[in-house]
Amino acid sequence: EIFQRVAPSVVHISGRADESVLSNGTATAQVQTGTGFIWDLAGHIVTNSHVVQGSSALSVRLPSGEVLPAEVVGTAPNVDLAVVAISPSHRLPPPIAVGRSAELKVGQSAFAIGNPYGLDQSLTIGVVSALKRRLPTSGGRETSDVIQTDAAINPGNSGGPLLDSAGRLIGVNTAVASSAGGGAGIGFAIPVDVVNRVVPQLIRNGHVSLPGIGIIAADEGTTTRLGVQGVVVVRTLPGSPAEKAGLQSIDPSTGTLGDIIVAANGRQVRRLADLTEEIEKAGIGHAVDLNVMRGDTTASMRAEIVDVGGMK
């Protein structure tokens, strides 16, 4: 019953990257595929950012077999979500009912519908294996509260819906961890509460505001090897609040560590996700109070929070 009700709203997305010329003179273009689902009757379709990234031509195949051209409305790589649009003049299946991820429980049933390896309209069944996982995304950021499931997710499932036993959307399938590289591992889904916050912004503005202070942080593997607990500031972006506040970067000539952020707004910072959470909680237009380790001393400073989405 769940499949019959929801599957008509799940689509196959294909993207073609720009052509490149091989050494033998032939031209080739990489094709990437994934899954998406109808968000509204205006023709908006939700998928993963990595499904459409780098594509110069997109098409959507409906369950009826009809193939329609699609355009990217907006992407949010920091949470691996994107919205594409097809012509609303076509008769579209109904949008998927939206649930809430904040109310999920470990052990409850989970259903994934998608196009693994190009096999359209495939259903896999499992449970919610864990909640509040952290999933690395682009720009050294992490998405928190990610859903872990043992419902089989394979290449091609990306961007498809994860459903509860009532057929409501609870997440967007985005990644799989497996030693074999396939669905025998652990699947992850962006929680629907994040989707509900991000997708309307993408439809309205084409992008999502990204609160930050303008730092590039070392990855967790590096901080672990250094024996550091906190966020290592690799560099500050030119003109950013971090630069104006006086945060010091790693010295590129000597490799000497600069500042290590160990607290934000009075809360201990062990990893980048802790800092990001405090910054997002305060919001753009406000400030964050930082405690940093600078050599053997501790310093306090305040940095304004701005939209860093366009900073490089």
Q: Tell me if 83 sits within 8 A of 46, measured CB to CB.
A: yes
Q: 308, 213 in Cβ contact below 8 A?
A: yes
Which residue in 158, 164, 193, 240 is the catalytic one?
158
Q: Identify whether 307 is a catalytic site residue.
A: no
Q: Are 123 and 3 in contact (CB under 8 A)?
A: yes
Distance (Å, whole) CA 47 – CA 157: 10
Distance between CA 235 and CA 135 in Å, rounded? 23
Of 44, 50, 150, 193, which residue is the catalytic one?
A: 50
Can you tell me whether residue 231 is helix, strand or coil? strand
Asked if 216 and 256 touch (Cβ cutoff 8 Å), the reply is no
235 within 8 A of 140, measured Cβ to Cβ: no
* Residue 80 is among the residues annotated as catalytic for this protein: yes
Nearest CA-CA partner of 241 in 221, 212, 217, 264:
212
158 is catalytic: yes
Residues 6+ apart with CB under 8 A from 91: none
Q: Residues 9, 44, 80, 101: which is the catalytic one?
A: 80
Q: Is the dihedral of CA 276, 279, 281, 283 positive or negative?
A: negative
Contact 151, 124 (CB under 8 A): yes
CB 124 within 8 A of CB 153: yes
Catalytically active residues are 50, 80, 158
